A and B are shown apart, each in its own frame.
Chain A
Amino acid sequence: MSELLDLPAASAAAAVRSGEIEARELFDAYRERAEQDELNAFTWVAEGPPAGGDQPDTPLGGVPLAVKDLFCTEGIPSQAGSRILEGYRPPYTATVVAKLNQAGAPLLGKTNQDEFAMGSSNENSGFGPVLNPWDRTRVPGGSSGGSAAAVAAGLAPWAIGTDTGGSIRQPAALCGIVGMKPTYGACSRYGMIAFASSLDQAGPLTRDVTDAALLLRHMVGRDTCDSTSLEFPGEIEPPSAESLQGIRLGVPEELAGSEGGVEAGVREQFDRTLKLAEELGASVEPCRLRHAPHALSAYYLIAPAEASANLARFDGVRYGLRVDGSSDLITMYNRTRSAGFGAEVKRRIMLGTYALSSGYYEAYYGTAQKVRTKISEDFRDAFEAFDFIVTPTSPWAAFELGAKTDDPLAMYLNDFCTVPMSLAGIPAISIPCGLSDGLPVGFQLAGPAFSEGRLLDAAYALESAIGFDGNAARV
């Protein structure tokens, strides 16, 4: 049994396809694990695989999938980590989830997350924090903390999450797994409960790079229901690179330099990984992303501004929570939203509302958009000299629960190294590169738009050289 659960997802899919194992057996084994979840990683677990039986002929072979709560799943609670959507069961399924189901990955469960994907520790969930499987006194990162913890702990073979400013990469780093944010537009956003529309992207959280490639292969593609989605050029192939010969890696001073506030233990693992890259044939040079230090400020205007509009629909009129008690419409709105939203969500709605207000728009939202353009230009220039930009994924390893909840600005710094790529809309992957005091450290590689295939190859070569062992986190 445990051997079954030790199989990486892509290997399990191959084993189902070749008839070595039964998809049903695999599903049941994971379902049992997910049921006994002690990390609060799941908000809902399936009772069984969907009707239609085993899926031995499908590319994903019936290997079950954990899905972040904010993906709409027909008839199944989809609450985006918020009390305002408690018990909400959508009448339709998100495109990405439907595609993965179609490709043979049945829904195992829905995973916990920061409310509306706003957070970096999963402590902002309306359904309680998720615990880090490496150390249950610590956070798993966020906002896709449930997906990351479930995969790291072996409660799910693989998972999907969403990344707006680092919400896949940072929890993947803190939980010692692989997480990838694709190019903006590569995956349909249809059915993803929106945080910040111009930044949100779905992506895989997996045990290894091979699993990430397989899952992503079946997520991408233009969707007529999402105007901002794009045709993915070519197919994502299983990664196979063994060396990094000729690959030029740029290390941005602004994100990975000594002034970046990167923890010593994280820096040590990062530097060690750079050496491994060089041993694999890569060149490693410093580079500049001059506007990257302003990314966080721009992000915390643009994302809340979009969120303030995206979250206006939660008004108690049609679905989700409604607090009545007055015949007055405004009072109903106030009571419903006051009761339904958590503190961080309220903070961002207010920030965003302010940034868009008459008389402040240009100074805040307008300026932030200009910074965003500058950041994109920085990356474009950098990619003329480098194949990939590399940074630590997070400035630090998993921190203790409650350590940063009183200081939102300190919490926002979690995203310091991941936000610039989100603003630029470019793909980035985090792979585990070692341990710092027994806690995993993430290594981030970012490439130009639609370089996912090359990124996965490079990450695969590094992964083999690093030889990270995630077993300590498995239940």
Chain B
Amino acid sequence: MSEHGYEPVIGLEIHVQMKTRTKMFCACDVTFGEPPNTHTCPVCLGLPGALPVANERAVHFALRIGLALGSEIAGRSIFHRKNYFYPDNPKGYQISQYDIPLCRGGRLGEVRIHRVHLEEDAAKLNHLGQSGRIHGADRSWVDFNRCGTPLVEIVTEPDIRSPEQARDWLVVLRETLRQIGVSDVDMSQGSLRCDANVSVRPSRTHELGTKTELKNMNSFAFLERGVRKEIERQVQLLGSGDTVVQETLHYDPAGDRLTPLRSKEEAHDYRYFPEPDLVPLLVTPEMLDGARAELPDELPIERAARFERELGLSAERARMLTFRPELAAYFERALAADGGGRDPSAIANWIEQLIERIGSNADPARSNVAPESLAALAAMVQAREVSRDAAREVLTMLVERGGDPRAIVEREGLGAIKAGEDGQLAELVEAAIAADPAAAEQVRGGNDRATGPLVAYVMRETKGRADGGEVRRLILERLRQA
């Protein structure tokens, strides 16, 4: 993207809550939406004398992420204390990783990964008062249920070049994280959170401009809008001869506004130092094997690429299927089913038809329609044994009661009426011409579009069983005979 001669450079920092049973450093349950402060203990409340113990399962999940992103896994990494005062941070420091993270490097699609590390989530603050933020609040409440939830922070390289790309890539990351089973990745519930580092530079230059950090973009749309807003702001500043100031900005989706949180001068000195309460995190070959064993054979982005490359699906359709692994599985079963001469795009199309009937969130494998039946139906349409309209009717019956599509077609008499079959179509074409002589005359005069009402007549009379294309061919043949 080039905006008035400037190229945006965007990197993302993503926080992902792990869906482990217990918290990062204590045995409290990880929950959402429970009454405040009902899942706490001395450790996650930061009571005097309490000590953290690293959650093995969270480490396992982080390893899955690192392996899925192709990162280099550190055999020995360490936890650090990140010091800052805030009521959501009961110890006065967050346990995180600093200069020796669990994973470095990697890639997802076109975006390189800088690092992946483990840390703990903060508590949730609720502010009473008009501002909705701690500044100016009448009173603030702290809910420690969330405090200590395992978080994985994923930092990308600044490889993203547009707000749309940022959004699209985050969708790919979310799907990847969901399919490797580590997180609920729900932005509205905060289990997936994304900050963006944004800078712009004159097109065709390579030096990075001054960046700002955007926070609080808690949906895909807000990410795209916030980043776009910030690019516009920076381009305008530079265009009018001003400079971009390094600062942290808060995105307000309601007003589509960016407000400064703190400048570089006010930036925290977090005084990182190695967490003395924890021993170094050692990753054994067994732990790596264990994490690898629980990864799916193919990541969604790999599967989508294969569907495009080997099956000729469009990019959009490939994503539609692979970003819902149950759809992709159903699709592949249908492909594998007997019938021969299948067209993958046609089967994908019939899956879309099926989803329309069973609801967009339902798993087709749990519907009455077996993938083999769907494949058989698609094959019948392709062989012109049943018309497309009739096949849609058959699908509706399959959804309702299941069964064999071929038997349904026979039982309901929905088989395609073909030319030459008992002369039935020819008779109906004659009837159509008789019923609408004006249209017939126009067709005779060379107006192909005038076949429409004539075809519609035949289709109506056959209750959709005839093949529209075939009917049209017959009409033209009949009316333009030498």
Q: Which residues of A contact B (CB under 8 A)?
A: 70-72, 78, 80, 85, 88, 90-92, 94, 189-194, 196-198, 224-228, 305-306, 308-309, 311-315, 317-319, 329, 333, 353, 356-358, 361, 365
Q: Told that A78-B49, A305-B273, A313-B92 touch, could you supply 16 new A-B pairs with CB distance under 8 A? A: A70-B49, A72-B48, A90-B42, A90-B49, A92-B42, A192-B49, A194-B48, A224-B53, A227-B51, A228-B278, A308-B271, A309-B81, A309-B93, A312-B83, A318-B45, A361-B273
* Given A313-B92, A329-B134, A356 contacting B273 (CB threshold 8 A): yes
Residues of B within 8 A of A319 (CB): 47-48
Bound form: Cα–Cα A407–B313 in Å = 80
- CB contacts (< 8 Å) of B87 on chain A: these are 315, 317, 329
Count of A-B contacts with CB under 8 A?
Answer: 105
Q: Compute how far the CA of A97 lies from the CA of B52 in the bound complex, rounded to whole angstroms.
A: 19
B48 touches A90 (CB 8 A): yes
Interface residues on B, range: 20 to 34
Which 3 residue pairs spanning A and B have beta carbons closest together?
Answer: A312-B92, A197-B276, A356-B271
**In the complex, A78 Cα to B42 Cα: how many Å?**
14
By a CB distance below 8 angstroms, the chain B residues around A333 are: 85
Q: Does B436 belong to the interface (CB within 8 Å)?
A: no
**Residue numbers in B under 8 Å from A314 (CB-CB):** 48
CA–CA, A196 and B277, complex, Å: 10
B471 to A: closest C-beta gap in Å: 77
- Nearest chain A residue, comparing its CB with the CB of B47: A90
**Which residues in B have their C-beta under 8 angstroms from that of A194?**
48-49, 277
Q: Does B105 contact A (CB under 8 A)?
A: no
Which residues B6-44 have CB closer than 8 A to chain A? 42
CB contacts under 8 Å to A, within B390-445, are none
Q: Indicate if B91 sits at the interface (CB-CB under 8 A).
A: yes
Q: Which residues of B contact A357 (CB under 8 A)?
A: 269, 271
Quick check: is B1 within 8 A (CB to CB) of the other chain?
no
Q: Is B46 interfacial (CB-CB < 8 Å)?
A: yes
Contact A313 B276 (CB under 8 A): no
Q: Which of A78, A317, A356, A361 contacts B142 (CB 8 A)?
A: A317
27 A-B pairs (CB sep. < 8 Å): A72-B48, A78-B49, A91-B47, A190-B51, A191-B49, A194-B277, A197-B276, A224-B53, A226-B51, A308-B271, A309-B83, A309-B91, A309-B92, A309-B93, A309-B271, A309-B273, A312-B85, A312-B93, A313-B46, A315-B87, A317-B142, A318-B46, A319-B48, A329-B134, A356-B83, A357-B269, A357-B271
Q: Which of A194, A196, A353: most chain B Cβ within 10 A? A: A194
Q: List B contacts of A80 (CB < 8 A).
A: 48
- Also in contact, A227 and B85, with CB within 8 A (given A197-B276, A309-B273, A358-B269): no
Q: What are the residues of chain B within 8 A of A361 when measuring CB–CB?
A: 271, 273
Q: In the complex, which of the residues B45, B49, B54, B92 contacts A190, with contact meaning CB atoms closer than 8 Å?
A: B49
CA distance in complex: A91, B46 (Å) = 12
Residues of chain B lying within 8 A (CB to CB) of residue A198: 276
Q: B91 to chain A: which residues have CB within 8 Å?
A: 309, 312-313
- Nearest Cβ in chain B — how far from A362, in angstroms? 11
| Contact across chains for B276 and A353 when beta carbons are under 8 A apart | no
With a cutoff of 8 Å between Cβ atoms, the chain A residues found around residue B83 in the complex are 308-309, 312, 356
Per-residue CB contact flags for chain B residues 272-301 toward chain A (1 = under 8 Å, else 0) read 110011110000000000000000000000
| Set of chain B residues within 8 Å of A306, measured between Cβ atoms | 273, 276
Q: Does B50 contact A (CB under 8 A)?
A: yes
Measured in the bound complex, the distance between the Cα atoms of B42 and A94 in whole Å is 11
Measured CA separation A217–B362 after assembly (Å): 62
Partner among B46, B51, B279 whose Cβ is within 8 Å of the Cβ of A189: B51
Whether, in the assembled complex, B90 has its beta carbon less than 8 Å from a beta carbon of chain A, the answer is yes
Give Cα A319–Cα B51 distance, bound, in whole angstroms. 17
A residues in contact with B277, CB < 8 Å: 189, 194, 197, 226-228
SS of A interface (majority): loop
Residues of B within 8 A of A224 (CB): 53
Choose one: B42, B53, B54; the contact of A91 (CB below 8 Å): B42
Given contacts A227-B278, A315-B92, contact A358 B48 (CB under 8 A): no
Report how far A358 CA is from B279 CA in the complex, Å.
24
Residues 52-95 of chain B: 1 if any A CB is under 8 Å from the residue's CB, otherwise 0? 11100000000000000000000000000101010100111100
Q: How far is the CA of A92 from the CA of B272 in the complex (A)?
A: 29
Of B45, B92, B272, the most chain A CB neighbours within 10 A belong to B92
Q: Please determine whether A353 and B271 come into contact, CB atoms closer than 8 angstroms.
A: yes
Closest to A80 in B: B48
**Inside 8 A of B93's CB, which chain A residues have their CB?**
309, 312
Residues of A contacting B52 in the complex (Cβ-Cβ under 8 angstroms) = 227
Most buried by A among B52, B85, B272, B273: B273
Bound Cα distance from A338 to B391, whole angstroms: 80
**How near does chain B come to A386, taking the closest CB pair, in angstroms?**
29
Contacts of A192 in B (CB 8 A): 49
CA distance A92 to B51 in the complex (A): 13
Contact indicator A227/B53 (Cβ below 8 Å): yes
Q: Given the complex of chains A and B, what is the CA–CA distance between A314 and B47 in angstroms? A: 9
Q: Contacts A91-B42, A329-B87, A357-B269; is A193 near B92 (CB within 8 Å)? A: no
In the complex the two chains form, what is the Cα distance from A92 to B52 in whole Å?
A: 15
Nearest-neighbour CB distance to chain A for B87, whole angstroms, equals 5
Q: Which residues of A contact B47 (CB under 8 A)?
A: 72, 90-92, 318-319
Is A365 in contact with B48, judged by CB distance below 8 angstroms? Answer: no
**Pick from A94, A228, A311, A356: contact of B49, CB under 8 Å:** A94
Which residues from A are CB-within-8-Å of B51? 189-190, 225-227
CA distance A197 to B276 in the complex (A): 6
Contact of A318 among B50, B85, B90, B276 (CB under 8 A): B90
Q: Are A315 and B278 in contact (CB under 8 A)?
A: no
Distance (whole angstroms) from the CB of A187 to the closest CB of chain B: 13
User: B49 contacts A315, CB within 8 Å?
Assistant: no
Q: How far is the CA of A93 from the CA of B272 in the complex (A)?
A: 30
Residues of B within 8 A of A356 (CB): 83, 271-273
A192–B47 Cα gap in the complex (Å)? 11
- With a cutoff of 8 Å between Cβ atoms, the chain A residues found around residue B276 in the complex are 196-198, 228, 306
Chain B residue with minimal CB distance to A185? B279
B278 CB contacts on chain A under 8 angstroms: 227-228
Given the complex of chains A and B, what is the CA–CA distance between A191 and B42 in angstroms? 9
In angstroms, Cα B152 to Cα A3, docked, is 63
Return A167 CB to nearest CB of chain B, in Å. Answer: 16
Residue of A nearest to B270 (CB): A358
Residues of A within 8 A of B50 (CB): 190-191
When chains A and B are docked, how far (Å) is the Cα of A175 from the Cα of B360?
78
Once the chains bind, are A88 and B273 in contact (CB under 8 Å)? no
**How far, in angstroms, from A357 to B83 measured CA to CA in the complex?**
11
Q: Select one of A71, A196, A225, A358 contacting B53, CB under 8 A.
A: A225
Q: Kindly state the separation between the CA atoms of A191 and B91 in the bound complex, as whole angstroms.
A: 15
A200 to chain B, nearest CB (A): 9
Q: What's the minimum C-beta distance from B97 to chain A, rounded to whole angstroms?
A: 15
Known: A227-B54, A227-B279. A358 touches B271 (CB 8 A): yes
Closest to A71 in B: B49
A198 to B277, CA, bound (A): 7
**A365-B53 in contact (CB<8A):** no
- Asked if A313 contacts B271 (CB within 8 A), the reply is no
* Most interface-central of B49, B92, B93 (chain A CB within 10 A): B49
Q: Which residue of B lies closest to A197 (CB)?
A: B276
User: How far is it, in angstroms, between the C-alpha of A267 and the C-alpha of B93 when the chains are bound?
Assistant: 45
CA distance A383 to B81 in the complex (A): 34
Chain A residues whose C-beta falls within 8 Å of the C-beta of B269 in the assembled complex:
357-358
Contact B134 A313 (CB under 8 A): no
- Tell whether, in the assembled complex, residue A72 and residue B142 are in contact, meaning their CB atoms are under 8 Å apart: no
Q: How far is the CA of A197 from the CA of B81 in the complex (A)?
A: 12
Query: Distance in Å from the Cβ of A327 to the closest Cβ of chain B?
Result: 8
> In the complex, what's the smallest C-beta–C-beta distance from B405 to chain A, in angstroms?
60
